[in-house]
Amino acid sequence: MPGPERPPKKPSRRIAVANQKGGVGKTTTAINLATALATTKRVLLLDLDPQGNASTGLGLPRADRGAGSYAMLVEGRPLSTLLVPTKVPGLDVLTADNNLAGAEIELVDMADRERRLKDALTKEPEVVARYDYVLMDCPPSLGLLTLNALVAAQSVLVPLQTEFFALEGISQMTRTVDRVRRALNPDLSLDGIVLTMFDRRNNLSEMVARDVRAFFKDRVFETVVPRSVRVSEAPSHGLPVLLYDVKSPGAQAYIQLAAELLRRDRARAKATAA
Ligand code: ADP
Ligand code: MG
């Protein structure tokens, strides 16, 4: 006998974690947001940075990483054959390795070079549908890898380090998102700036946070990620800070950030249903 009818599963939400600047907390945010979300959701993290820091930070040594995003984007191997489970229950990853650096160049001559990721996800809808969230950790540039993420995503999350040039950096990011929305992906929205490495003792941190909020209003998450030494130690143990030291202020911030993201997504779903 068939069981009670279940409502069809909501399509997975695809979020690119991007900022053309390096060292602003993209990978840290991708890993820890993914881990926090995985306590209640099924999550897939796509490592799109040739540095492979998200893969390393999740405890996947290069030796047992296998083929990853390079094989999918350049060689056209199916995503389903490349996924790797992590120590975090509910979190799978598509790994990255140095060979991905070549993809920026090899993709240039390919047809639909900016849609390779989107096409790969579209080709296996049943695989993608296993996940409630697909997060993409982008490299620190606005090259083809980041472009592929922006074309495949519905939303961009921009980690922003609270420092002097923060606003300048974010305006380049918003222009890029606008351009991609107009030319390649009308669904794309910038809905989330996350202030990272916030230092409460530093007046500049406060000032930058105020300016960013004055300009971007509710597109800035209320949750602020503090600078915390436990956050920077965790990757060398191959662990998200949530598993390394869940009581630390950094881990707690990412738990709050995940809760805020889920709240925002529920509010958005309600608004579009109404
Ligand atoms: P990106 O991916 O943007 O290049 P990362 O997430 O790798 O940036 O962060 C850059 C460096 O800063 C890393 O060494 C990371 O461990 C450290 N870091 C990130 N967030 C924090 C934080 N909240 N507190 C302390 N160190 C942090
Ligand atoms: Mg990174």
Helices 249-273 and 26-37 cross at an angle (nearest 10°) of: 70
Q: Mean of the pLDDT values across residues 105-115?
A: 93
Q: Is residue 183 part of a domain?
A: yes
For 246-259, the pLDDT digits (tens) are 999 999 999 999 99
Q: Is residue 98 part of a domain?
A: yes
Q: Mean of the pLDDT values across residues 68-91?
A: 96
Residue 8 pLDDT grade (very low, low, confident, very high; cuts 50, 70, 90): low
Total domains in the fold of the chain: 1
Across 75-79, 245-249, 263-267, 268-272, least confident range: 268-272
What is the 8-class DSSP label of residue 220?
E
The number of the ligand 1 atom at minimal distance from the alpha carbon of 53 is 7
| Mean pLDDT, rounded, of the chain | 93
Q: Domain range for residue 209?
A: 13-273
Q: Is residue 7 part of a domain?
A: no
Q: Is residue 8 part of a domain?
A: no
Residue 269 pLDDT grade (very low, low, confident, very high; cuts 50, 70, 90): confident
What is the pTM (predicted TM-score) of this model? 0.95
Q: What is the pLDDT of residue 63?
A: 82
The CA 30 to ligand 2 mean position distance, Å, reads 9
CA neighbor of 50 nearest in space, from 101, 6, 3, 7? 101
Alpha-carbon distance 226 to 208, whole Å?
14
Residue 150: CATH number of its domain? 3.40.50.300
CA neighbor of 51 nearest in space, from 111, 139, 131, 112? 139
Pocket test for ligand 1, best of 46, 53, 146, 232 (most atoms within 8 A of CB): 232
- Which residue's CA is the nearest one to ligand 1's atom 15? 232
Q: What is the pLDDT of residue 4?
A: 57
Q: What is the pLDDT of residue 243?
A: 96
Give the strand pairing for 220-226 and 84-85: unpaired
Q: Is residue 198 part of a domain?
A: yes
Q: Is residue 2 part of a domain?
A: no
